[in-house]
A and B are shown apart, each in its own frame.
Chain A
Amino acid sequence: MSSKEEILSRIRQTVGTGYAMPEIILPAGAVEYGDKTAQFAAVSESVGGRAVVAGKGADLNEMIRSLYPAAKTIASNIPEITLATFNPDKTGTPYELDGTELAVVRGEIGVAENGAVWIAQNVKEKALYFIAEYLVILLDAEKIVHNMHEAYRQIRLNDYGFGLFISGPSKTADIEQALVTGAHGAKGVTVILTSAV
């Protein structure tokens, strides 16, 4: 018998009473936010990140430039981001992304309760999300949901087979519980909330 069969047959002998799956429907009074954008921005701040609103017709390139005036190597595969100094999808291996100072990517869904942004991999090498010193995520403000239940109803992975929620910068408190940002990944994350209105 293979280990697989052995394990499964042992489990079959022990599963016992079948417990029913709870029905996941939020009770009345569950947390909801009057202003999801404001809540998202407040939590982003509290986790060491930042969310800024770009009004209609705002010049994103100008905004990013003023947020990161010193950035020299800027990666983006978004055509509108003209201040990008290179297209990360044109590089050969993930190793070539080392040294990227700023990456500008698109997020799909924002979560008001925890400031997380869902990204189904949308660059050739996912390394970009982590190796860039700073990360800017463009997110449609309309795409902010209240909580993770809503977010998980909407997320989909694409053919890359990788996706993630990012909430604020990489951080650690492993030395005496002192919070330090930039443990391995981005030292800073700014979500730019774009809006049609």
Chain B
Amino acid sequence: MSEEHAKNAARFLANKEQEQWHNETLWQVRGKRDRLAMAIPEWETLREWASGIKMHTLSHLDRYLEQFAANAEANGVKVHWAKDGEEHNEIVYGILKERGVKKLVKSKSMLTEECHLNPFLISKGIDVVESDLGERILQLMDEPPSHIVMPAIHLKREEIGALFEEKLHTEKGNSDPAYLTHAARLHLRQEFLTADASMTGANFGVAATGDVVVCTNEGNADMGTSFAPLHIVSMGMEKLVPDYQSLGVFIRLLARSATGQPVTAYTSHYRKPRKGCEMHLVIVDNGRSRTMEMGDHRRTLKCIRCGACMNTCPVYRRSGGYAYTYFIPGPIGINLGMLRSAKTYAGNLSACSLCCSCNNVCPVKIDLADRIYAWRQSLDRLGKADRIKKGMSKGLKFLFSHPALYRLSLRLAPLLRYMPRFLMYNRLNGWGKGREMPEFANESFTEMWKKGKVKTHTNQRSHE
């Protein structure tokens, strides 16, 4: 609920230094993304294509799924279909159980988070080991990721150092990232070499060939699948692209958008099982076909989970992933939460200033902010309007008390007309309750407003 989001954000904001670090670090990632995007004159064309390819694929999804599954089967991959998370988990467990698997090593997969696979398998006695460094850190802490690409972005090195000291017996007080990473390398290598099965997600499925494409920087998916005799792929049905030519468009966009890298270190194509081994593919619906029925909201299915909308979002950067009640935070998470259960997750709608920055960085051109706006419009029907609108006001107050955020949010200007005057000028502090308000906040806003800069700010483009 909005109250919950505000409370969670307040907790995050209580640690000022960390909040500032989080904000600035993600903004740097955004900056890297900009530099790489700008080095490619055809960048906007690529985004158009990516959006168009996804819309095309989604509007012929039945055919592409059949083609993909037929090719995968012809390649010797065993294909399973899961209507929902529960069926997905049962299928995975069934495969593991039949083969007596004790240890499963996993690479990062938002879909398995969505299906709550890990707790399910653990309850069945399977040793589940996350192998992405960030995911492993969080697993050892027994906490969920706070970002879909940088899962441990909310943690400081000292916290990780202390965790490793306890769990991996690293040196006392050593929190050097290189030292800790290499300690994790040694620890996880043993896990790779002793696992009975590996599991990966899928960044893309190529209909024309049956390839499953997995992109990582660490090489953890590759290590996992190189040893254990069984590889299970868990794939959302919206991950399909028609062919290699379309895949090329997405590979050019993904890492640049996600982390500001020209490409991930590894872009792996899995087409057949390793000699003498097994490869299983679980294609998951879990609400996606329902989303397809929801008019314009269908566009959220274009998402390639790059995380760029989080890195750019002024509210996400200042409130952290745990402020959101759905497991995926940020602009896309607000949308996916609403699609999962509008009743349960409507509170997250307040975590948006409608600055539309997300729309402008999204590599597949999802109109995330417009979707959020549309959800807000439909709140009356959900009977949640009052509570949520209250939350929205808080969000706006939060924004106005942060001049840097405010500057990023010039797109909000049209909305100001509808804001009661007291909201714009009072000194209450919304989400930042208990937090000192920067003294110049109101002043700078007023100044800008008077000078007419709100509408004509020349920096607007560079902030988009």
Contact = CB atoms under 8 A, between A and B. Distances in A.
Interface of A: 2-4, 6-8, 10-22, 24, 26-27, 29-31, 43, 46-47, 94-95, 98, 111, 113-116, 125-127, 129-131, 147-149, 151-153, 155, 157, 159-178, 180, 182-186
B81 A4 contact: yes
A11 B265 contact: no
Given A47-B262, A167-B265, A31 B40 contact: yes
B49 interface: yes
A159 B137 CA distance: 37
Given A7-B83, A164-B266, A125 B226 contact: yes
Contacts of B218: 170-172, 183-185
Contacts of A165: 251, 263, 266-267
A176 B380 CA distance: 42
B273 interface: yes
Contacts of A12: 62
Contact of A98 (B66, B156, B193): B193
Nearest to A127: B226
Interface string B245-278: 1111101100000010111111111111111000
B185 A183 contact: yes
A128 B153 CA distance: 31
Contacts of B223: 127, 130-131, 184-185
B133 A172 contact: yes
Contacts of B188: 184
Interchain residue pairs A-B with the least CB separation, the first 3: A161-B272, A185-B219, A114-B262
B265 A168 contact: yes
B293 interface: yes
B453 to A, nearest CB: 33
Contact of A173 (B251, B259, B263): B259
Interface string B389-412: 000000000000000000000000
B447 interface: no
B219 A170 contact: yes
B157 interface: yes
Interface in B65-81: 65-66, 69, 75-76, 81
B222 A130 contact: yes
Nearest to A111: B263
Contacts of A13: 293
Given A6-B83, A152-B245, A152-B247, A161 B271 contact: yes
Contact of B185 (A17, A22, A160, A184): A184
Contacts of A159: 272
Contact of A166 (B45, B134, B262, B266): B266
A88 B248 CA distance: 32
A174 B137 contact: yes
B206 to A, nearest CB: 10
Contacts of B270: 161-162
B402 to A, nearest CB: 22
B132 A116 contact: no
Contacts of B134: 172, 174
Contacts of B263: 47, 111, 114-116, 148, 165, 167
Given A29-B42, A116-B263, A161-B272, A130 B48 contact: no
B371 to A, nearest CB: 17
B227 A11 contact: no
Contacts of B261: 47
Among the interface residues B42, B150, B265, which one has the most CB atoms of the partner chain A within 10 A?
B265
A4 B87 CA distance: 12
B269 A164 contact: yes
Contact of B177 (A116, A148, A176): A176
10 contacts: A18-B60, A22-B52, A46-B262, A113-B252, A130-B226, A153-B244, A163-B271, A172-B217, A174-B134, A175-B177
